[in-house]
Amino acid sequence: MNIKVIEQKCTGCTLCVKTCPFSCIKMVNKKAVIDLDTCTLCGACVEVCKFDAIELKRDSGSTPNKEEYKGIWVFAEQKKGIIQSVVYELLGKSRELAKKLDAEVSCVLLGHDMKDTAQELIHRGADNVYIVDAPELKHFLDEPYTKVLVNLIRKYRPEIFLCGATFIGRSLISRVAVKLHTGLTADCTELDIDDAEKYLLQTRPAFGGNIMATILSKNYRPQMATVRHKVMKESECDTSRKGKIIEETATPALLRSRTKLLDIVEEISSTVNLAEADIIVSGGRGMKGPENFSILNELAEALGGAVGSSRAAVDSDWIAYSHQVGQTGKTVCPDIYIACGISGQIQHLVGMQSAKTIIAVNQDPGAPIFTVADYGIVGDLFEVIPLLTKKFKEALSK
Amino acid sequence: MNVIICIKQVPDTTQVQIDPETNTLIREGVESIINPFDMYAIEEGVRIKEKFGGKATVLSMGPPQAEAALKEAISMGCDEAILVSDRAFAGSDTLATGYTLAKAIEKTGNFDIILCGKQASDGDTAQVGPGIATQLDIPQVTYVKKIEKIEEKSAVVERMTEEGYEIVQTSLPCLLTVVKEINEPRIPSLKGRMKAKKTIVTSWKAIDLDVEENRLGLTGSPTWVSKIFTPPARPQGEIFEGPADETTSKLVNLLKNHLS
């Protein structure tokens, strides 16, 4: 077994019992006993024990020559030739990390006719841009993107590889990490470098944000992570920055794909891209019907935001699923989240509680949404929302 | 058309509570459910089988009690259930989990479509589905919201994106991860429940699979959890009550600077 309590060292302090996120440690005769059937070997008890009384064996392998891996790479996700904003957020963070590692920051850009864009990435903080240009790479497809990336990573050996936790990113990087046989942490909200060992500290919410976990990939390279939108600050554009553009080619074998993109359909409503929105106005059961979402659209428009919804509104067919925020919908992290007529069940909260400012409008002062709200208005939303729209418009026009 | 559906048993988040004293999750007494996204995968798998014939096999890796989740899938119309369970799998990260499940799928033999939920509600990684596809070297389409058509050697599906969706053709066999919009899972029929009761879940241990031991469980997992902590609680907010004209003015004044 990989984990055990060293009885001679255990003082019966019960700290591990309190720390175990899975409630699988009990005290028996004043010694800690781990229930091996429920233990997930997460190691929280090992870290908290002051007496080194819990031993966790991690005799895993490692990437050969791992010390040869250097530098930070950022996947420069593009759609229709436009770099996605999360890339600039990653570049901002990467510059900070690079300082601590004394390393270079590089972008890898796959696409077609994208040379000018490469220059933009340098202005935003990349020291190098590896660019692979091919018509087959114009739009994202899992297999060619995976094969081309894996090939480049094997050639250049970056120490860290970061990517936005977008639909594309989460799909692609999962494949890349398996091919490279290395560790990958999903949906990080914080990245840092360990002072002593220089590991990448990858922090992410777990259990819908109820707990946070910091994850390491000590023995494998590159250390890979996808990062949530909107939590890190975009790097500034500095047109005087200089960098190198390195053109790479891909062989036909790398570009082969068993999937084919037949069509791209953009939904007419421009207010649907919740991941990119700085402000989200969301409606729930309290909206009472599909026709009433127009008042949310008006408020969202006045604020330049997008419209979201709770599951209840989607299940009642008041609004399309693509707007749903929460456990079975999207996880969002806007600057401002305005929840209108949403009671705030845990499944909704896990999708929005990392928003920087949360505003709740609800008739019921006891609604759970008010427990996470920074500001709340208790009142009839059909009266409150139109007033907010009017007053925000006035305030913003000044 | 042989379909394999991968599911995970997770704690029911509606019941998860934080112990105010220790700031940790109280898991005792919390019921286990099938990961909500996997319900859509089960439903879709059963629908494919009903339409094209063949077999729908449901597969899970987890502790012995995950058998309950597999039986529920049987009650919804799956034909066979396999539980991959062994202490050797404990501590698996997404790489080791994908590897183990891929090996189990190889052992089942013939398959055309593998279905997974888009992600699990406890881990939220969305990495295991693509991990399985990569280990098996088959194509994948993630975030599928509709299967438009299935033919002998290919399928056309709609894949959700930030802006709308894409229509993607894939060769078979393939792996699809599905989102909620794809269907509405059925309520098990009485007949289904009776069948589930009688069904014997196949159980495989590490020795039953053609696996390399050092790629399993904690040993086979490159990522390690180094620290678990509770995020700082949000400070108590300001709640305004009273006439709407006053409360809205207060809020707009507070947010004005924030917006410009």
Average the pLDDT over A377-390 and give the result. 96
Cα separation, A238 vs B92, in Å, equals 44
Is the domain of A73 the same as that of A39?
Answer: no
- Answer yes or no: is A358 within a domain: yes
* CATH number of the CATH domain containing B174: 3.40.50.620
- Answer yes or no: is B257 within a domain: no
| Closest residue to A178, CB basis, from B63, B134, B259 | B134
> What local confidence, expressed as pLDDT, does residue A60 receive?
65
> What local confidence, expressed as pLDDT, does residue A61 receive?
81
Strand pairing report for B32-34 and B9-11: antiparallel
What are A325-372's pLDDT values in tens digits?
988 888 888 999 999 999 998 889 888 988 999 999 999 999 999 989
Q: Which residues of B touch A331 (CB under 8 A)?
A: 124
A51 touches chain B (CB under 8 A): no
- Answer yes or no: is B202 within a domain: yes
Using the predicted structure, report yes or no on whether residue B15 has a pLDDT greater than 90.
no
- Answer yes or no: is B238 within a domain: no
Average the pLDDT over B96-111 and give the result. 96
Is the domain of A284 the same as that of A323?
Answer: yes
Burial of A149 (0-12, 13-18, 19+ CB in 10 A): buried
Last residue of a domain, one of A228, A255, A282: A255
- Helix (H/G/I), strand (E/B), else coil: B60: strand
> What local confidence, expressed as pLDDT, does residue B157 receive?
98
Cα separation, A218 vs A223, in Å, equals 8
pLDDT-derived band at A259, boundaries 50, 70, 90: very high
Tally the domains of chain A. Answer: 3
> What local confidence, expressed as pLDDT, does residue B17 receive?
64
Cβ distance B248 to A178 less than 8 Å, yes or no, reads no
Residues 310-349 of A with CB under 8 A from B: 321-322, 324, 327-329, 331, 335-336, 345-347
| Closest residue to B91, CB basis, from A40, A262, A273 | A40
* CATH number of the CATH domain containing A51: 3.30.70.20
- Answer yes or no: is A161 within a domain: yes
Give the residues across from A216 on adjacent strands.
B224
- Answer yes or no: is B232 within a domain: no
By the 8 A CB rule, do B124 and A212 touch?
no
- Answer yes or no: is A158 within a domain: yes
Interhelix angle A381-397/A293-303, nearest 10 degrees? 20
Is the domain of A180 the same as that of A230?
Answer: yes
Chain A and chain B share a number of CB contacts under 8 A equal to 323
> Looking at chain B, which residue has its C-alpha nearest residue A18?
B22
> Looking at chain B, which residue has its C-alpha nearest residue A395?
B256
Cα separation, A322 vs A203, in Å, equals 27
By the 8 A CB rule, do A56 and B81 touch?
no
Residue from A207, A212, A374 whose CB has the most chain B CBs within 10 Å, to mutate: A207
Is the domain of A86 the same as that of A234?
Answer: yes
> What local confidence, expressed as pLDDT, does residue B62 receive?
93
* CATH number of the CATH domain containing A331: 3.40.50.1220
Is the domain of A162 the same as that of A251?
Answer: yes
Residue from A174, A314, A319 whose CB has the most chain B CBs within 10 Å, to mutate: A174
Cα separation, A74 vs A129, in Å, equals 9
> Looking at chain A, which residue has its C-alpha nearest residue B219?
A60
| Closest residue to A391, CB basis, from B27, B168, B252 | B252
- Residue A162's nearest CA partner among A151, A148, A173 is A173
Average the pLDDT over A208-225 and give the result. 88
By the 8 A CB rule, do B139 and A142 touch?
yes
Average the pLDDT over B131-139 and give the result. 97
> Looking at chain B, which residue has its C-alpha nearest residue A381?
B244
Is the domain of A197 the same as that of A303?
Answer: no
> What local confidence, expressed as pLDDT, does residue A140 receive?
97
- Residue A19's nearest CA partner among A55, A51, A44 is A44
- Answer yes or no: is B52 within a domain: yes
Strand pairing report for B164-171 and B154-160: antiparallel
Is the domain of A19 the same as that of A80?
Answer: no
- Answer yes or no: is A302 within a domain: yes
- Answer yes or no: is A61 within a domain: no
**Residue ranges with strand state E in chain B:** 3-7, 9-11, 17-18, 25-26, 32-34, 56-61, 80-84, 113-117, 140-150, 154-160, 164-171, 174-178, 202-204, 224-229, 238-241
3-state secondary structure chain A: CCEEECCCCCCCCCHHHHHCCCCCEEEECCEEEECCCCCCCCCHHHHHCCCCCEEECCCCCCCCCHHHCCCEEEECCEECCEECHHHHHHHHHHHHHHHHHCCCEEEEEEECCCHHHHHHHHHCCCCEEEEEECHHHCCCCHHHHHHHHHHHHHHHCCCEEEEECCHHHHHHHHHHHHHHCCCEEEEECEEEECCCCCCEEEEEEECCCCEEEEEECCCCCCEEEEECCCCCCCCCCCCCCCCEEEEECCCHHHHCCCEEEEEEEECCCHHHCCCCCCEEEEECHHHCCHHHHHHHHHHHHHHCCEEEECHHHHHCCCCCHHHEECCCCECCCCCEEEEECCCCCHHHHHHHCCCCEEEEEECCCCCCHHHHCCEEEECCHHHHHHHHHHHHHHHHHC
Cβ distance A265 to B214 less than 8 Å, yes or no, reads no
Is the domain of A114 the same as that of A195?
Answer: yes
What are B158-197's pLDDT values in tens digits?
999 988 899 999 999 999 999 999 999 999 999 999 999 9
Positive or negative, the Cα torsion across B209, B124, A343, A387? Answer: negative
Residues of chain A with pLDDT > 70, as a percent, come to 97
Cα separation, B110 vs B100, in Å, equals 17
Average the pLDDT over A265-277 and give the result. 74
Using the predicted structure, report yes or no on whether residue A124 has a pLDDT greater than 70.
yes
> What local confidence, expressed as pLDDT, does residue A346 receive?
81
Cβ distance A276 to B245 less than 8 Å, yes or no, reads no
Is the domain of A73 the same as that of A13?
Answer: no
Strand pairing report for A357-362 and A375-378: parallel
Whether this model's ipTM surpasses 0.90 comes out as yes
Cα separation, A270 vs A277, in Å, equals 11
Which residue bears the tokens 């609680």?
Answer: B233
Q: Which residues of A touch B151 (CB under 8 A)?
A: none
Average the pLDDT over B122-143 and give the result. 95
pLDDT-derived band at A272, boundaries 50, 70, 90: low
Mean pLDDT of chain A: 91
Cα separation, B120 vs B126, in Å, equals 7
Domain that holds residue A45: 3-56
| Closest residue to A209, CB basis, from B14, B181, B231 | B231
Residues of chain A with pLDDT > 90, as a percent, come to 72
Last residue of a domain, one of A255, A280, A300: A255
Last residue of a domain, one of A203, A227, A255: A255
Burial of A82 (0-12, 13-18, 19+ CB in 10 A): exposed
Using the predicted structure, report yes or no on whether residue B240 has a pLDDT greater than 60.
yes
Write the CB contacts of A337 (distance below 8 Å, at least 6 apart in sequence): A279, A280, A282, A308, A352, A355, A357, A358, A359
Phi, psi of B7 (to 5 degrees): -130, 165
By the 8 A CB rule, do A316 and A151 touch?
no
Cβ distance A321 to B180 less than 8 Å, yes or no, reads yes
Average the pLDDT over A378-392 and give the result. 95
Cβ distance B228 to A259 less than 8 Å, yes or no, reads no
By the 8 A CB rule, do A265 and A271 touch?
no
What are A37-63's pLDDT values in tens digits?
778 787 778 878 889 899 887 666 888
Which residue bears the tokens 């404990």?
Answer: B90
Average the pLDDT over A376-397 and give the result. 94
pLDDT-derived band at B22, boundaries 50, 70, 90: low
- Answer yes or no: is A263 within a domain: no
- Answer yes or no: is B174 within a domain: yes
Using the predicted structure, report yes or no on whether residue A85 has a pLDDT greater than 70.
yes
Domain that holds residue B7: 3-223
If you ran DSSP here, which 8-state letter would residue B186 be given? P
Cβ distance B140 to A42 less than 8 Å, yes or no, reads no
Tally the domains of chain B. Answer: 1
Residues 177-216 of A with CB under 8 A from B: 177-179, 181-187, 201, 205-216
Q: How far is A114 from chain B (nearest CA, A)?
A: 21
- Answer yes or no: is B186 within a domain: yes
- Answer yes or no: is A321 within a domain: yes
Residue from B38, B99, B169, B251 whose CB has the most chain A CBs within 10 Å, to mutate: B251
Is the domain of A140 the same as that of A203?
Answer: yes
Is the domain of A341 the same as that of A365?
Answer: yes
Residues 218-247 of B with CB under 8 A from A: 218-231, 234-235, 237-241, 244-245, 247
Average the pLDDT over A141-156 and give the result. 96
Is the domain of A136 the same as that of A241?
Answer: yes
- Answer yes or no: is A374 within a domain: yes
Q: Which residues of A touch B170 (CB under 8 A)?
A: 258-260
Residues 64-93 of B with CB under 8 A from A: 64, 87, 90-91, 93
